[in-house]
Amino acid sequence: MILIDKVSKRFAAQGTGTRWQRKGWRLHRTAQPWVQAVSDISLHAPNGQITGLLGPNGAGKTSTLRMLAGLLAPDSGRLEVDGLSVTQERAKAQARMGILADARGLYPRLTARENMVYFGRLQGLSAPAAHARAEQLADLLELRPLLDRATEGFSQGERVKTALARALVHDPDNIILDEPTNGLDVLATRALRETLLHLCSPEGGSKCIVFSTHIMQEVERLCDQVVVVAHGRNVASGSVADLLAQTGQSDFEDAFVHLAFAATPPQIGVVP
Amino acid sequence: MSRPAVGKALAQWGAVFIKEIKDAWRDRRTLRMVLLLSLVQGPLVLLLVSTLASEKENRIDKREIYAQGMQYAPGLQNFIERQAYTIKVPPADAMDKLAAGQLEDAILVVPADFEQRLHTMEMPTIEIYANSSSRGSDTARDLVRKLLQSYAQERVALTLVLRGVAVASLQPLEVQERDMANANARAAQLTGAMIPLYVLIAVLTGAMGAAMDSTAGERERSSLEPLMMNPVSPWALALGKWGAVALLAALIALLTSLSFIPAQLLIRSDVLQALFRYGLADALRFGLICLPFAGAVAAVLMASSIRGKSIKEAQAGNSLVLMVFMLLPLVSLLNDAAEPDWYYLVPSLAQQTLMLHVLRAEPIALWQWLLPSAIGVVLTIAGLAYVGRAMRSNAVR
């Protein structure tokens, strides 16, 4: 179970750096421009369900998931994984999550198996357990022909599958996927969809799955509930049917455009 | 830290270390180049040093001098020939070649009235033409000057004797030089400036690639972000990566030190061949001196590299680190006095000083071993603490 409660985060505007201003004989730091990337975003993802975080590019999806992954500290708000606070018990919370990052970040000189076993060992599995799990995942994700090949020459689809296997190596109860279908062809997308449906089913372990995307079809076909974000804020949440009813649209894409692009633009200001 | 937590951290350290070793091993092209360089560096340095030394020896052994107008100074000609030197007439374009630095020699020019002025005690002027920018010309000039001084001394002595004056009144004392340096120390005069510096350079350049790949490389490949999503302790991560880089640096230090043993076969200078005695024990001492340095260098280069978002950015930062480590040993070259104790506090200068002691076969006190090692450990801990912290803060591009 994943809980994101009114989480906010702002960043210094890119490329501005620290500027200094002379006042008499003294140098003072000038106020630094900032961008409010995430503002009071909330999400509750129960086990056995797929929760979609839907939003246009730059909506704050990746920043939110990075905070959930323990990579960024939120300015305010609460992030919990199975009741464990990500900010206070980061390591324990990280052990309960399997995260497919936007940056797949495979090691090109290692084989698919070695990539998986390495992360398994970092997650605390013994070497034999990590190897056994790599074998299981190779069957689940149809990775067997790739298992002992260096990932250097892998196609985009093969990379995503390997990175997903690596994220699942410790059999986490919570799975977080950032734009998992980016760069995948139709067949690979379909295979991934089936895998996710299996993982959240009781046979697959009733995993809690959160995934971010900007692709409508994925949400319609996969998600039990959707959280729509725009300009770093929650703009709507509910099932696909709820959102269609809420906007009075029959097409989900129209509903999304109605929700996401009617929101107010992001806050930009200066930190004193 | 509880026992299971220590066990988990150790297992994580082991996993990171093995992964980094595997990664470095698979980068065969880089590894081959780094190891090859560390193996050929020793022989190349010795070949270079001994070639320079043998050039000087050959010049002295050849016993030839160039002289123009020697027919005007039969007395001087007789003296030089008595010293078993051959007098050669310089070629027509000798002066031009000398000015252009193409003639590695000196030319003695005798004026037409030399003998006449010598007899009338009018102090004739005799010229030596040399080019101070050429090492060979410098050596030849010193040789000719020495011969002329001896000739002048002989003439004065003969004149005084003919007039019944004792030679001792001109030269009231006799100087006898006794060289207290042992054979190794004399050889170290030739090799001491270069060999330790090249060992240090081999360690620095060898460790740099691995240090960058394990830190800035992670950022460039975007693998740091997924890596930091694991519940891994920053110390386990930094130590595991450092272990692999430091192992490679230590291996390079040992290989470079060992490479000077077979390299002795390439020595071209007879004097250096007789003086330079470098055995397995010396190589192992070199390795031992470089071990804490290799660890410190690995940690400092990793700390510098983690700031770079790409290998290219890291290279820019590391070139500064490399420059500092390479320039520090030059401090000893500027100081002719006995080495001060603070040398042992400065990384790379301390190692160079210790290696010089080994080359000179001088004893090394326990504190001289321990102080640079302690400084290396402190640098390593500081570097790793920074790497551990920076890995998390730099995980997101």
Which contacts (CB < 8 Å, 24+ apart) does range B158-166 have?
none
pLDDT at B383 (0 to 100): 96
Which residues in chain A have their CB less than 8 angstroms from residue B222's CB? 101, 103-105
Cβ–Cβ below 8 Å for B19 and A107: yes
pLDDT at A140 (0 to 100): 87
Helix (H, G, I), strand (E, B) or coil at B105: coil
C-alpha radius of gyration, chain B, whole number: 30
Residues with Cβ within 8 Å of B298's Cβ and at least 6 positions away in sequence, in order, are: B207, B210, B211, B242, B245, B246, B248, B249, B380, B383
pLDDT at A266 (0 to 100): 52
Cβ–Cβ below 8 Å for B222 and A107: no
The DSSP code sequence of A89-106 is: SHHHHHHTEEEE-SS---
The DSSP code sequence of A126-176 is: -HHHHHHHHHHHHHHTT-GGGTTSBGGG--HHHHHHHHHHHHHTT--SEEE
Cβ–Cβ below 8 Å for B226 and A103: yes
Cβ burial, residue A96 (10 Å; 0-12/13-18/19+): buried
pLDDT at A271 (0 to 100): 45
| Both structure tokens of B317 | 């930062």
| Both structure tokens of B320 | 């500064």
Q: How far is CA A109 from CA A106, A241, B21, B31, B216, in A?
A: 9, 46, 11, 14, 16
- Whether the Cβ atoms of residue A109 and residue B27 lie closer than 8 Å to each other: yes
Identify any residues that bridge with A41 across adjacent strands, giving them in sequence order: A7
- Whether the Cβ atoms of residue A62 and residue A37 lie closer than 8 Å to each other: no
d(CA A159, CA A181): 11
Which residues in chain A have their CB less than 8 angstroms from residue B395's CB? 71
CB-facing half-sphere around the CA of B23: CA atoms within 13 A: 27
| Shortest CA gap A242–chain B (Å) | 34
Cβ–Cβ below 8 Å for A107 and B223: yes
- Whether the Cβ atoms of residue B59 and residue B142 lie closer than 8 Å to each other: no
Which of B347, B355, B351 has its CA nearest to residue B283?
Answer: B355
- Percentage helix, strand, coil for chain A under 3-state DSSP, each rounded to 5: 35, 30, 35
A222–B contact, CB cutoff 8 A: no
Residue in B26, B222, B232 nearest the CB of A109: B26
Who has greater pLDDT, B180 or B118? B118
Nearest CA in chain B to A69: B229
Residue A256 has pLDDT above 60, yes or no: yes
Q: How far is CA A126 from CA A107, A117, B12, B34, in A?
A: 21, 9, 10, 34
- Whether the Cβ atoms of residue B141 and residue B130 lie closer than 8 Å to each other: yes
Q: How many Cβ atoms from other residues are within 10 Å of residue A248's Cβ?
A: 9
pLDDT at A272 (0 to 100): 42
Average pLDDT, chain B: 87
d(CA A64, CA A41): 8
A115–B contact, CB cutoff 8 A: no
Confidence of residue A18 (pLDDT cuts 50, 70, 90): low
| Both structure tokens of B302 | 């990793």
Cβ–Cβ below 8 Å for B223 and A72: no
Helix-helix angle B135-162:B74-82, to 10 degrees: 110
Which residues in chain B have their CB less than 8 angstroms from residue A150's CB? 26
Element (H, E) at B330: helix B330-334
Q: Of the given ranges (B37-51, B139-153, B175-189, B190-204), which has the lowest mean pLDDT?
A: B175-189
Which residues in chain B have their CB less than 8 angstroms from residue A111's CB? none
A134–B contact, CB cutoff 8 A: no
Q: How far is CA A42 from CA A65, A84, A233, B391, in A?
A: 12, 16, 9, 28
A163–B contact, CB cutoff 8 A: yes
Residue A269 has pLDDT above 60, yes or no: no
Which residues in chain B have their CB less than 8 angstroms from residue A91's CB? 231, 233
Nearest CA in chain B to A114: B19
A132–B contact, CB cutoff 8 A: no
Cβ–Cβ below 8 Å for A71 and B15: no
Cβ–Cβ below 8 Å for B396 and A106: no
A11–B contact, CB cutoff 8 A: no
B265-279 pLDDT, tens digit per residue, is 777 677 667 667 788
d(CA A189, CA B389): 37
Cβ burial, residue A89 (10 Å; 0-12/13-18/19+): middle
Cβ–Cβ below 8 Å for B229 and A122: no
- Whether the Cβ atoms of residue A77 and residue A87 lie closer than 8 Å to each other: no
A91–B contact, CB cutoff 8 A: yes
B268-309 pLDDT, tens digit per residue, is 677 667 667 788 998 999 999 999 999 999 999 999 999 999
| Shortest CA gap B31–chain A (Å) | 14
Residue in B22, B225, B392 nearest the CB of A101: B225
Query: What ipTM, to 2 d.p.?
Result: 0.89
Q: How far is CA A72 from CA A80, A176, B61, B394, in A?
A: 14, 15, 74, 10
B228-253 pLDDT, tens digit per residue, is 999 998 889 999 999 999 999 999 99
| Both structure tokens of B100 | 């252009």
Confidence of residue A91 (pLDDT cuts 50, 70, 90): very high
Confidence of residue A262 (pLDDT cuts 50, 70, 90): confident
Report the pLDDT averaged over residues A103-126: 94
What percent of chain B lies above the pLDDT cut of 70?
Answer: 91
Size of interface A-B (CB pairs under 8 A): 84
Q: pTM of this prediction? A: 0.80
Report the pLDDT averaged over residues B104-117: 90
A127-168 pLDDT, tens digit per residue, is 999 999 999 999 988 899 999 999 998 998 899 999 999 999
Cβ–Cβ below 8 Å for A101 and B232: no
| Both structure tokens of B194 | 């270069």
Cβ–Cβ below 8 Å for A105 and B19: no
Identify any residues that bridge with A100 across adjacent strands, giving them in sequence order: A177
Cβ burial, residue B46 (10 Å; 0-12/13-18/19+): buried
Helix (H, G, I), strand (E, B) or coil at B201: helix
| Shortest CA gap B384–chain A (Å) | 19
- Whether the Cβ atoms of residue A230 and residue A57 lie closer than 8 Å to each other: no
Residue in A94, A110, A163 nearest the CB of B23: A110
Q: Of the given ranges (A5-19, A74-88, A146-160, B241-255), which has the lowest mean pLDDT?
A: A5-19
d(CA A111, CA A132): 15
Mutation target to probe the B interface, by most B beta carbons within 10 A, among A107, A148, A169 is A107
Q: Of the given ranges (A25-34, A261-270, B93-102, B338-347), which has the lowest mean pLDDT?
A: A261-270
Q: How far is CA B88 from CA B64, B70, B75, B77, B80, in A?
A: 7, 9, 16, 11, 12
Which residues in chain A have their CB less than 8 angstroms from residue B23's CB? 107, 109-110
d(CA B201, CA B188): 18
pLDDT at A12 (0 to 100): 81
HEC sequence for B215-275: CHHHHHCCCHHHHHCCCCCHHHHHHHHHHHHHHHHHHHHHHHHHHHHHHHHHCCCHHHHHH
Report the pLDDT averaged over residues A91-103: 92
Residue-wise burial string across B6-42, b where 16 or more C-beta atoms lie within 10 A, e elsewhere: eebbebbbebbbbbbbbbbebbeeebeebbebbbebb
Report the pLDDT averaged over residues B39-59: 76
Average pLDDT, chain A: 89
Nearest CA in chain B to A164: B226
Helix (H, G, I), strand (E, B) or coil at B65: strand
Report the pLDDT averaged over residues A221-246: 91
- Whether the Cβ atoms of residue A215 and residue A181 lie closer than 8 Å to each other: yes
A167–B contact, CB cutoff 8 A: yes
Cβ–Cβ below 8 Å for B395 and A94: no
What percent of chain A lies above the pLDDT cut of 70?
Answer: 93
B164-191 pLDDT, tens digit per residue, is 887 777 777 777 877 666 666 666 666 6
B319-340 pLDDT, tens digit per residue, is 999 999 989 988 887 776 678 8
